[in-house]
Each structure stands twice: as C-alpha cells, then as structure tokens.
Structure 1
C-alpha cells in the first residue's frame, strides 16, 4: 500500500478511527500528525470498545509501530492513562511500539486551567464550545515560543526553568482577569516530573522513523483528528479547533516531505453531525435529527456531549474536496439512514439572493445560508450484513452514486456498522 493520509471531511466524528483501524492492516507505520486529546477515535473490536485520544488507532494491531508527530499537542497525564488502559486490556504499549517526537508540544496543568477559566468567563454567543482540555492555550504557547516540548522531559533543569518562565505571564492573567489563584511553578514541576521520567524512553526522531520506513519501501499511514471544517484557517472560524486539520498538514505535522503523501482518504459520514457551537446549515432539530442521533448513538467520544445531526451537506464536502484533494472517500454509518422513507441531500446554498455551490468565506456567513435540497428515496432494508456493493439495496447504491457524481471522488470504502467486518471495499 502507498503512503496515505486519513482525514475527516466534515466537522469531525466521521468515524476515522474505524477506517484507520481497517487500513492499518495494510500499513507498516502509523503517524498521528495534529490535534490533542480533544478528539477521540472509537473502535469496536469483538466485544471490546476502545476510545483512543492520543495514541494512533493502529496500536490495536500488535505488529504495528505508532508515532506521535510534532504537530500534536500532548497531555502527558492522559497519555499515561491511555497506555495503562490499553495494558489492562492486554495491549502493551512499549517504547518499541510507540515513539513520541521530541518536538511535540506538551499540555501543562496551567493550559487546562486557562482553557476552562477563559470559557467560563465568556457568555452566550461568545462561547466556542471548547473541550477545556488545554489544547488552544498549548498551541498559543507554541506560537509564542514559550512552549514546553517532549524533548524537555529528558532535561529536568530546563523543564523546571521553562515552567517558571511560562507562569510569569499566566499567573497574572489567572489572578487579575479570571480571579484564580496563581500557580506555584515548583508544584507544577513536581506534578510533571514523574510523568517526564516515565515517558522519556518513548522519545525519538519521528522524521527519521518515517524516512527509514520510506527507504525500506514500507508504507506509512498519516492519521488526522477532528475534521476539515474545524481547521483553524479553513474551518467555520471562530468555531474551530486550534490546528490545521487538512491533509496538507500531514507533512508538516509529522516531519516529512509532501512528496511522501501518495493517497488521501476523506472520511465522510453518510449524514452530518457537529458537536458544540457554530453554524450548521443542514441541522435537523426535529424527528429526523432525533432519528439519526439515536440510531447513530451520536455522542462525542471525548466529551460525551450529544451531537447535533442533519442531512448530508455536499456544499461543505465540495470545499473539503477542494482543500484536501482526496483520492478516495470512505463513507461511514450508511446503515443509520436505513428505515427513512426519504433522504435529503444539500446540493447548494441560497446566500444573499444567489445560488452558491461552495461555502461563503466571510466569518459566520455560514449561519446566513439556506440549504437547497434534493430529495431521494430511502430504503427499509437492514444493510448491516452486506459485504459487497451489489448486496446493497438499489436506493442505497443510488445514494452512494449521487455522492460520487457530485464530488467526483470514488467511494471505495463503505461502513455499514461499527464492527471491523461490517465494511464494504470497492
């Protein structure tokens, strides 16, 4: 298999975990290249359900090696918990199986405190709906050149010094703006020190690992988190995440050349969901939305929040195709739409008296559009046991073909249930 990127084409929660798990069988190395533990990938293996927030989904395959790239922001406490949880389920995560880039920035206790205080300080429409896990403040420190990186774990004196410097400004903000008690740098250091000692053996040169794999003609899978329309630049700003989620960031966030990215798989849910605040043109606040929410068990893997649900929005997917250049689409949760008499597809927007086929680019303009729908017949049959495209009901096939026709990208993977084997390959 050629090197490939797996990324979300909507607002996250598209089912990337299952697709990565599926494609991992054909890869030698799996790399997470952006985001933090504000994302969760849910995988069902037999009777066990795993929710992974930081470690690439490929870790469930015991013969695979996983990397955490420099574009990730890493919460060391959460990572240790994840390692322990996997170990308790018979999956050992050793330094031979997991390598953390020394350039990866670390989420510190003060990042989480600032994140929560900032969101609590806001009111009404100003709230972004952050997970409160310190992701944004950590990326802010990275850009301000005061971030703490994983490589600092091997130099405890440097780690102590950098914590002290970072808190000079943050303690003023915590106390004067948010009315919070300032943090003692030494106490923060003592909290982090045992985690640093535990994780130091996992540190390595991720760029070299990828280069060595490519030189040996091995395949690398680059695993993204969140979705295209949560991208800090190209998403529905300001209701976005703090990193670049598009496929092009795989090279920067993993530390390799763009020439290494040969194939791009865009994961698309058969309908649309969104967690938290922000515009959502096709949202259905009615029995159809409730149907999708309940049948699809639409709760955030990380936050547990109920997901907002609506019809498939092909306008935002056109933008995703334009931004990511996918070679393939993996269509997930097609089975959830079974049982509906009719299904709607948003093919365009009405905006300021015009019909448009791509999202308007101004801030919050997506809240001003009116979706233009095409209605297609649904299907009653249970498709969860289908294993080939020909076994699908005719209306399910036509639904897939309509998506392919409008986006001009082939749907090569179709998920018809949460289990590994509930998948159709074309």
Structure 2
C-alpha cells in the first residue's frame, strides 16, 4: 500500500505530527522532495523533535526511513540533525535510514549564493522570503546538470573530482563577477565531499530497488511531503514557491519508484491559516494586527526551520479546496483545532473579492491573487478547552459544526482531528 501524506496549504500544516501518528501502521516512511528549508515539529512521549531532512517516521524504531532521489540534501545539516536526534535517544543506523544515491547534494556555495541573492533582492523589496538554505540554487544547478549526487560520494575518484572542478569553475563566474566574492576553492570543496563520503557511505544506496521490493512484498509505504500544495513549483503561488513538486502525484517519482501509483492520499490542513515567507496570503487580511498576534501566540506560530513568526489568518476555504484538488485527497486531517478554543466567534474566508468587484470561490493566480480581498463569514465558537476530547461526538456542538462546515466546503471527508500536540491527542472519525 502506497500512501502520500501531503500539505493542503502553504506548508506548516502539522504534517510531521500526523506522519508520527499514522506511521504506527506503516513499515517505511519516505521523503520525496525538498531539503532542509522547512521543519516538522513532533511532540510525543519521547520528547520534542524538530526534523528538517529526516522523515518523521524515524521516531518509531520499527520504521525504515528513506530519503528519496527527489530531495536535495545538505550533508552538513544532515550530520547535525542526526547528531541531535541521537543525543535525544533516537537510534539512527543504515538499517533504519537509507539515502538515495540519486539525491542531489546541496553544496556550501549553494547556501552562500542563496544568502547573497536574497540580500541583493532585499534592497529593492523584491526578496522571496528564502530560508537561505540553498534549496533553489541546488535545484537550479540540478536541472543545468552542474551538481553532484549522493551516489558520487561512493566513488570519490579522479572522475568525480574533474566534474567537481567543472562545477566550481562555473560557479566562480557567478560568485566573483556578479557578487564580488572570493572564488570557491576546489580543494576545500573536495575535502568537504571526502569528509561526508566517510560519514554517509554506509547509508547511501539504490532506494528505488529497496522500495520496489518492499512494495512487491506487501509492505506499507508512506510518502512524506515537505511544505504544501500552494508551495508547489508548478501549481503553487509562483514565484513564492518552493523549488520542487510538493503534490502527492509526484511522491512515487521523487521517492524512487516512478512506475507505482498511490493507493491513498491524505491531506493535512490547519483549522486556521498560517504561512512563512513572502507572497500573497489573502487570509491574513481578514484579521486585525491584534487578532493575528493573539492567534499566533495561541498557535505558537514560529517556523521550525527558521524561528520566524508565521503569518496567520482564518481558515481559507478557497485556498484549501484548491489544495485538496491538487493533492487528489481521499481523506483529510484537520490539525490544531484546539488553538481556536479561545474564540467567541470563528472567522472563515469563504470567497475572494476581485478588483472588478467579482466574488469567486475559485483560487486565482498571479496579479488576480495579489489583489484579492477576503470575504469572511463568522461561525459560533465553542470557547472551552477541547484538548482532552477523544471522540467526535464529545466535542462541543459548535466545534463539531465547524469541522462539518469545513468538510463540506472543501469537498473531502475529515477523518482525523488533532486537539493537542501529543500523539494521543487526536480524534479519529469512522
């Protein structure tokens, strides 16, 4: 069985928390895209964990985790992430973590270039809100065929060094002549690669073969996405997107088994809206600054990868329905419903008003989205603590009505409802 766990909105929907919960029923959890530019925060009986590259399934000893070929991997960050997890008592070995030999390496100069370009753009207010982790520049060089892959670390011979020399020579044209920086040192980059070849050689393998054999043997495989549908490079709020395909249809491809098809798509969305980074975010216009500050504090809305305050707003029906359609969802998980416990009334963005006065429930793009204004409906709040509730029928009626309203509005069944950060703080609807 192949299942994709994907984000419906702008990212930060609580996917890591749901992967941690649902992975109890799976043998393998595989990441299929992205890098360390977003984080999954998971809290369970073993502690609080922040994961940037490693799949959230690593917190279950019986689960094998896979980092797929569609990912871009910064070995320096990965080494630190592994060290941190080990210090928290999480065992990580080549038996439970497998890294695709096809995954692209994020080099130090990719990170440097990301920071330099964002600084240049910030002078004119045109920055993208990059996390400055080098993701876009790694993917860009990948498609220009000017990168190394993790599998190259298994063959650190003269041929790989020559390829690296060509890459460095090309990169220095940019670093020196455009940004006025010191040239990248080939010797330093070669030594950097040699170090991580020693660290990660035991973990690097043909994960496509591993996953195909596991699927043939009837193993249950979960694909874990980073970010959400609205950050997809093709279907998201371009150019304020990630640099990879975050939608579930790409999961088997990015993981390493492109000939296989999904059996189940589970979409994750918050009970309200949140967003890190630049770009159009209509929902935030539906609240005052004071209201957003209160919601942010109740939801602890700060980026797991960057610590940046997230932009927040009410649940956005227009954006969420679009995300559900992009992800081809069979069922949904609604996270952080308990964050809304304090509200007397719960606002919901039901439509967008366009500059010509048209009101639409179809998610627009480009200039139309930039200028859209929210149309808001207010629903009754429940104004009480629901963190101890474990059955849908035990929720206050206003909370039940809110869930059913969203379910009908986005056109997909909500099966899971999280009412707290712990594993057990989740309602499962039959």
TM range (shorter): over 0.9
- Which deviations, in whole Å up to 9, do the C-alpha atoms of 1:106-160 show, x marking residues without a partner? 1001101111111111124310010111101100111001111000001112332
In structure 2, distance between residues paired with 1:334 and 1:206: 37
In structure 1, what is the equivalent of residue 155 of structure 2? 155
- Matched-pair contact (CA < 8 Å) for 1:7–1:247: yes
Shift in Å, 1:212: 1.2
Shift in Å, 1:206: 1.3
In structure 2, distance between residues paired with 1:401 and 1:124: 45
In structure 2, what is the equivalent of residue 170 of structure 1? 171
1:143 equivalent in alignment to 2:143: yes
- With normalisation by structure 1, the TM-score equals 0.97
Shift in Å, 1:192: 2.4
1:29 equivalent in alignment to 2:25: no
In structure 2, distance between residues paired with 1:238 and 1:285: 27
- Matched-pair contact (CA < 8 Å) for 2:30–2:255: yes
User: Which of 362, 366, 369 is the equivalent residue of 2:369?
Assistant: 366
1:331 equivalent in alignment to 2:334: yes
Shift in Å, 1:257: 4.0
Shift in Å, 1:47: 6.2
The aligned runs of 1:109-120 (5 Å cut-off) are 109-120=108-119
In structure 2, what is the equivalent of residue 382 of structure 1? 385
Shift in Å, 1:88: 1.4
In structure 1, what is the equivalent of residue 231 of structure 2? 230
1:345 equivalent in alignment to 2:348: yes
- Which deviations, in whole Å up to 9, do the C-alpha atoms of 1:270-326 show, x marking residues without a partner? 100111111111103422211110011000000000001101111011111221110
Pair 1:47–1:199, CA change in 2 (3 A)? closer
Shift in Å, 1:358: 1.4
- Matched-pair contact (CA < 8 Å) for 1:69–1:253: yes
- Matched-pair contact (CA < 8 Å) for 1:69–1:104: yes
- Which deviations, in whole Å up to 9, do the C-alpha atoms of 1:39-65 show, x marking residues without a partner? 111011226210011110001100110
Structure 1 spans left out of the alignment, 5+ residues: none
1:407 equivalent in alignment to 2:406: no
In structure 2, distance between residues paired with 1:163 and 1:146: 9
- Which deviations, in whole Å up to 9, do the C-alpha atoms of 1:132-189 show, x marking residues without a partner? 1110110011100111100000111233222211111211211111111111111111
In structure 1, what is the equivalent of residue 318 of structure 2? 315
- With normalisation by structure 2, the TM-score equals 0.96
Shift in Å, 1:90: 1.7
The aligned runs of 1:17-416 (5 Å cut-off) are 17-46=16-45, 48-122=47-121, 123-157=123-157, 158-257=159-258, 259-283=260-284, 284-351=287-354, 352-361=356-365, 363-416=366-419
In structure 1, distance between residues paired with 2:77 and 2:23: 23
- Matched-pair contact (CA < 8 Å) for 2:32–2:70: yes
Deviation larger for 307-316 or 341-350? 341-350
In structure 1, distance between residues paired with 2:168 and 2:124: 29
- Matched-pair contact (CA < 8 Å) for 1:32–1:254: yes
Q: Residue 338 of structure 1 aligns to a residue in which SS?
A: helix
- Matched-pair contact (CA < 8 Å) for 1:3–1:262: yes
Q: For the aligned residues, what is the CA RMSD?
A: 1.2
- Matched-pair contact (CA < 8 Å) for 2:68–2:256: yes
- Matched-pair contact (CA < 8 Å) for 1:236–1:364: no
Shift in Å, 1:104: 0.4
In structure 2, distance between residues paired with 1:390 and 1:96: 42
* Aligned positions, number: 424
Structure 2 spans left out of the alignment, 5+ residues: none
- Matched-pair contact (CA < 8 Å) for 2:321–2:411: no
